[in-house]
Amino acid sequence: MIRVNGVLVSPGRKPVYGERMAGGYRVWDPYRSKLAALYEIGGAPDISREMVVLYLGAAHGTTVSHVADYACCVYAVEFAPGPMVNLIKTAEMMENIIPVLGDAANPASYFRLLERADILYQDVAQPGQAAIALANMAFLKPGAPFVIMLKTRCVRVESDPAMVCSESVQTLGRNGCTVERVMWLEPWHRDHAAIVGKAPLHPFTPPGEEP
């Protein structure tokens, strides 16, 4: 990933949502983006120009826009109509963002719009985050990397964040994923863990098209 004087940036030529510029590149603020925080910590897979990204929980497109600066194209799934309005505006500025209005928990509703992705990034901040990721693994190339941002308080507010995270890791592992590492995003984002791993080595079978 690119840094200008130690500051994480993405290689866009003009601001998309009012962010600062540095050395002609867009500053990617770890306080505004969990993925930027993970790059600050280290250990996240790099995104490169040939990669197709499946992004679940796109919101207004803030982080999506930085990912799109690095990637070939980003399928950006969001189910809330409000954020989708801004996401579409962002996509109008960046032609490699494909906004998808859909529920990531029900990927059968949008699988015909997608191509197989080289990496999954998920930031849906709701219960059942591991199950949502698993439901979308079929859209990934076998063994492709994933990053799941786990907001532990959305899973169970009363439970120990480490325990919630460990349960999600076990769920992913039981279903054929390889979890490589878990990183907590303090000081930028409290009670958020990034789960980084690889998708199962299964052949691609879109939901609803099982033999």
Q: Which is nearer to ligand SAM, 33 or 152 (CB)?
A: 33
Q: What is the DSSP string of 81-94?
A: HHHHHHHHHHHHH-
Residue 83 or 206: the one with the smaller Cβ distance to ligand SAM is 83
Q: In the complex with ligand SAM, which residue's Cβ is closer, 22 or 125?
A: 125
Q: The tokens of 192 are what?
A: 């958020």
Going by DSSP bridges, is the β-strand pair 52-56/73-78 parallel, antiparallel, or unpaired? parallel
With CB under 6 A as the contact rule, which of the stretches 1-9, 118-126, 168-176, 190-198 interacts with ligand SAM? Answer: 118-126
Residue from 57, 99, 107, 145 that binds ligand SAM (CB under 6 A)? Answer: 57
Q: What strands lie across the sheet with 178-184, from one edge to the other?
A: 97-101, 73-78, 52-56, 119-122, 145-151, 192-198, 178-184
Question: Contact between 77 and ligand SAM (CB under 6 A)?
Answer: yes
- Smallest gap from Cβ 68 to ligand SAM, in A, equals 12
On whether the CB atoms of residues 136 and 102 are closer than 8 A, the answer is no
Residue carrying structure tokens 């070939």: 72
The answer to the question of residue 97 lying near ligand SAM (CB under 6 A) is: no
- In the complex, minimum distance from the CB of residue 184 to ligand SAM, in angstroms, rounded to a whole number: 16
- DSSP conformational letter for 18: S
Bridge partners for 101 per DSSP? 78
Binding mask 155-184 toward ligand SAM (x if CB under 6 A, else -) reads ------------------------------
Total of chain residues touching ligand SAM, rule CB under 6 A:
19
Instruction: Give the residue, chosen from 104, 114, 150, 177, that forms a contact with ligand SAM under the rule CB under 6 A.
Output: 104
Residue 77 to residue 160: CA distance in whole angstroms: 29
User: Is residue 62 involved in binding ligand SAM (CB under 6 A)?
Assistant: yes
The bridge status of strand 52-56 relative to strand 119-122 is: parallel
Residue 30 interacts with ligand SAM (CB under 6 A)?
no
Helix (H, G, I), strand (E, B) or coil at 48: coil
Q: Is 116 helix (H, G, I), strand (E, B) or coil?
A: coil
Contacting ligand SAM (CB under 6 A), which of 41, 105, 179, 183? 105
* Per-residue CA distances from 63 to 151, 166, 197 (Å): 16, 26, 20
Query: Closer to ligand SAM at the Cβ: 77 or 177?
Result: 77
The reply to whether 118 sits near ligand SAM by the rule CB under 6 A is no
Point out which residues bind ligand SAM (CB under 6 A).
Answer: 33-34, 57, 59, 62-63, 77-80, 83, 103-105, 123-126, 132
